[in-house]
Amino acid sequence: MHEKGLFMWSKCAKPGALALVGMLSGAVVEGPLVAVAAEAAMPANATPALKRLTADQFRNAIEDIFGPTIRIGGRLDSDVRKDGLLAVGSSTISVTATGLERYDTISHAIATQVVDEKNRETLFGCKPVNVTAPDEHCAREFLSQVGRLLYRRSLTKEELDTRVQLAGEAAQTLSNFYSGVAMSLAGMLSSPNMLFRQLETEPDPAKSGKYRLTGYSKASQLSFFLWNSAPDPALLSAAGKGELHTDKGLKQQLGRMLNSPRLEQGVRAFFVDMLQFDAFDTLSKDATLYPKFTAKVPAAAQEQTLRTIVDLLLTQEGDYRDLFTTPVTYLNRSLGALYGVPIVSDLPNGAPDVLQRHVYADGDARAGILMHASFLALHSHPGRSSPTLRGKAVREVFLCQKVPDPPGNVDFTVVQDVSNPLYNTARERLGAHATEPMCKGCHKIVDPIGLAMENFDAAAGYRTSEKNQRIDASGELDGVKYRDAVGLNKAVHDNPAATACAANRLISYATGAPVPRNSEAAKSILEAFSKNAFQWRPLLSAIVTSQLLFQAPVQPQAQQAQAADTSTRKDISGESK
């Protein structure tokens, strides 16, 4: 087994086997096929007991378990954003009937690849005695190992027996051992045990009448928080041995995970969520007005920001606040052309348009992640910039301050009419629009922020004038006045709401629930963030050691007896769940 790819499979289905796939995989019922999170029964801010894997988590888990050669085709169910995060929305969504069909199709495609001849040697630790017949011993060995990784816990004896029996029946019918294993594996891949993270509880021996998460549930919480993927064998082993219930065992695994290369994947996932990069799926720009915003720019823009973040927070172990002012970033030719920065590559002709480290001069308005295309283009209209959208995004995304939506009867004609000779710039158009009483309040708190970004058009292209009139980029943020984007970056950097927002967003991301108002635990985590010079690894560590990540969900009375029974049940490895 290896860190990126712990297994693999084969193209062995015979003609007419597709119908058999559905029949056999559907014969095993391990839980509700369309599972729904029980949010309605949970108090506000309670830890959710059930979370659907996001599309990225599903893909990451497959790659980490079976390796990067396994292709995942098809479209997964859409994720839902709630309280600013997809991670919170995952606690309130189910798998639709149509989505289940898609997962089933995708699962069979994955299973077919895993048992393919080119992958068997890598992913199977055993060989059948006869490839044209069932082999219970080899099937049991493979399915127990891969099942532990997919379900993020050891399979019970009943679960494994059922899976082995299914593989044997399919192998008998198809006259192929690997085809039979693929049928059984596909059912596991589309099982609720795979698609949902269920926080299971057990009586807490240290607190009479209280419950705690099982070791395996703690492992899942840790892994999806820090790595955005399923637990690896080492973490599952620690969970099975009960080590995650001890301070020493938890700190040992936490230290290992914070220093793993996989931490970058987890950090990227958080910022993709926080920065709302899923909106790039529907982003469009007027190609006539912005010819430099080519089809390559959206992906490059996201990578520019993520690489800047990873470099500062993980590689340099820098101060989170410096993301808003750092002159260091990563550009390629496409982005350089967009920003007006000449990028000279030392790569040979024909080489990929890779991103290279670039350092802006002191006082350059293009420094800091707020001036990246990933923010500026995302929070603009297809054909024009929007100080209002940009200012609103700064408040909501980076300062966690909710800005009310505009009333339904607002007239935006003045703002939208860029050809009006009376109003040459966005500042003038917004000034005329904000005279309406119903608009003045909101525009007052967002426009002075967004106007500081007006040196960048809707595609993030750098400019100094609009309609031959020099752009006034001055503004104000919470009483701090500035002349341009450089001043805005410094104002956000110094605003205490920026670090509080980052910490609270990360707590919500970790727990899948909004941070309770006036939470003492959240205050303690923010204090630790400050004491550690706003470094990211210590913030991650503070959230884990605060135990917020491991809070047991509220347990209905009807489930308590079942939980007590579950706590004493042994899985097939002999370990307590």
State the Cα–Cα distance between residues 53 and 181, nearest whole angstrom: 24
pLDDT over 50 at 36, yes or no: no
Residue-averaged pLDDT of the chain: 85
- What local confidence, expressed as pLDDT, does residue 405 receive? 79
pLDDT for the residue numbered 353? 80
pLDDT class of 570 with cuts at 50, 70, 90: very low
**Residue 115 above 60 pLDDT?**
yes
Q: Is 568 helix (H, G, I), strand (E, B) or coil?
A: helix
Task: Give pLDDT, residue 218.
Answer: 97
Nearest CA to 301 out of 273, 331, 327 is that of 331
Q: What span, in angstroms and rounded, lies between the C-alpha atoms of 25 and 28?
A: 6
Average pLDDT of the residues in 193-205: 93
DSSP-assigned states of every residue in 11-43: --PPTTHHHHHHHHHTT---S-SS----GGGSP
**Cβ–Cβ under 8 Å, residues 234 and 245:** no
Looking at residue 559, its pLDDT comes to 41
Q: Please, what is the angle between helix 263-274 and helix 297-310, to 10°?
A: 120
Query: What b/e readout covers 382-393, taking b as 16+ CB neighbours within 10 angstroms?
Result: ebbbbbbbbbbb
pLDDT at 575 over 50: no
pLDDT tens-digit series, residues 345-366: 666 665 668 899 999 999 999 9
- Asked if pLDDT for residue 401 goes beyond 70, the answer is yes
> Which residues, in sequence order, are CB contacts of 149 under 8 Å at separation 6+?
6, 7, 65, 230, 231, 233, 236
Q: Over 60: is that where the pLDDT of 514 sits?
A: yes
Write the Ramachandran bin of 85: left for phi over 0, alpha for psi from -120 to 50, otherwise beta: beta
Contact 232, 64 (CB under 8 A): yes
Rg (CA), the chain: 26
The one-character DSSP state at 356 is E
Does residue 407 register a pLDDT over 80?
A: no
Predicted confidence band at 95 (pLDDT cuts at 50, 70, 90)? confident
Parse the chain into domains and list their residue ranges.
17-198, 201-260+554-568, 281-493, 495-546
Structure tokens at 556: 């209905």
Specify which of 100-109, 435-444, 462-471, 495-504 reaches the highest per-range mean pLDDT. 495-504
Cα-Cα end-to-end distance for the chain: 24
- Split at pLDDT 50, 70, 90, the class of 436 is low
Angle between helices 233-240 and 247-258 (to 10 degrees): 170
Higher pLDDT, 411 or 479: 479
Short-list 108, 161, 114, CA closest to 139: 161
Confidence of residue 274 (pLDDT cuts 50, 70, 90): very high
Separation of alpha carbons 559 and 577, rounded Å:
16
pLDDT in tens, 211-264: 999 999 999 999 999 999 999 999 999 999 999 999 999 999 999 999 999 999
